[in-house]
Amino acid sequence: MANGVHQRIGGMLTRSDYFRRSPSRLGGSAEHKEWQHFILHIEEVHLLVNFSLVDDRHARDRRRGEVGRLIVLARGMEWDGDVDTFQASEVDVLAGRIEARFGESWMRFEGGRYRLNVALRDRPIAADLEMEPTIVPTMSSNQPLSRVRNISWLFVPRLVCRGQVTVGDRTIAVDNAPGYHDHNWGQFRWDDDFSWEWGSALPLDPANPWSVVYMRMCDRGRTLCHSQALYIGYGEEQLRFFRDQDLRVTLSGRLDQEQCLKVPRVMAMLSAGTAKDLPGELTVEARAGADRVEMRFRLQDAAQLVMPSETRLDGVTTINEVSGGVTMRGTIKGRELVMDGPGVFEFIRD
């Protein structure tokens, strides 16, 4: 990537991708959630890393009530991973900076690149990565999540990744592999009246310039869609945004998975079900003017992040991280779109 483009993207991220932190530290509401999320795609493994800050609404001192969690999931032949939780003394995050330390694991943004060094405490998964953004970020502020709750996000659809990943007794070299990053923050409660579908896909061929991000926000029963969009990237630019009425989304079939990994592992006692509430395929048809795209995501298998309800004593919110394959065909601004590659999509379910 040309040095001028690298500097432009780096400058945009420095001004926008910083940690916001909770207003509870200054006496405000204690319902803040924020996470920096990274995905790496290589043929041997999909890796998901998430640095999360969540307010503990029941903390004795809400000004010190943020909880740091490191979520790491890796899918080789099957999913493995866990959630590590950290005491306040083990967490170092400054508002206004793109930098975090959770115990011995850390992330930061320097020289226009993300650096990650993570290792789970009780599972044999670790990574040391440099992830270079190669496309301008997209940011959307205060989007409706439910009738009274909003969420903001920033995402970088495509990064070039280098370094190494260790899963079990195997260490895998990473060289010019595709990656994805997003950053989300907002004031809301798990198990409130919302659900979402969110996903990204990239070609494994670095010469293919296309990338895609999909989002859909609905009520908890998934009968009312608040917003939906398909973001198409080409090279270093976001080429086309399809929104709301431009999209037709179809869920078909059912993911046939008898067992799935649940993290934190203790939450399996509260969430005994499987991933049977997930479709087998998600299809998005987007049309606006002369531009048209069809995207198909074929779900392969899921791991579940299980969150205790913050609205009732007997509920949970399940965040399904699903790996699969994406096929995209279409025409955008006179360019033929052809892309096949790996995707990781997220489905929230009760």
Which pLDDT score, from 0 to 100, does residue 272 have?
Answer: 61
DSSP 135: S
Which pLDDT score, from 0 to 100, does residue 274 have?
Answer: 64
Q: How far apart are CA 50 and CA 72, in angstroms?
A: 6
Q: What CATH homologous superfamily does 189-350 map to?
A: AttH-like domain (2.40.370.10)
DSSP 267: G
Q: Which of 217, 165, 143, 137 is nearest to 40 (CA)?
A: 165
Which pLDDT score, from 0 to 100, does residue 9 have?
Answer: 97
State pLDDT tens for residues 271-307.
666 666 899 999 999 999 999 999 999 999 999 999 8
Domain ranges within the chain, ordered by starting residue: 1-188, 189-350
CATH number of 1-188: 2.40.370.10
Strand 125-133 to 138-144 pairing: unpaired
Residue type, 309: S
Q: How far apart are CA 121 and CA 135, in angstroms?
A: 33
What pairs with residue 287 in β-bridges?
292
Could you tell me the two tokens for 140?
A: 């959307």
Q: How far apart are CA 149 and CA 33, in angstroms?
A: 12
* pLDDT confidence band for 250 (50 / 70 / 90): very high
Q: Which of 91, 84, 70, 104 is nearest to 25 (CA)?
A: 91
Give me the mean pLDDT over the 147-173 stretch.
95
Which pLDDT score, from 0 to 100, does residue 270 have?
Answer: 60
Q: Which of 130, 106, 142 is nearest to 20 (CA)?
A: 142
What pairs with residue 318 in β-bridges?
306, 349
Domains 1-188 and 189-350 alike in fold: yes
Could you tell me the two tokens for 101?
A: 């330390």
Which pLDDT score, from 0 to 100, does residue 40 have?
Answer: 98
State pLDDT tens for residues 15-63.
999 999 998 877 778 889 999 999 999 999 999 999 999 998 776 666 6
Q: Is the pLDDT of residue 266 over 80?
A: no
Please tell me the pTM assigned to this model.
0.95
Q: Is the pLDDT of residue 241 over 90?
A: yes
Q: What are the CA-CA distances from residue 66 to residues 23, 88, 94 (Å)?
A: 10, 7, 13
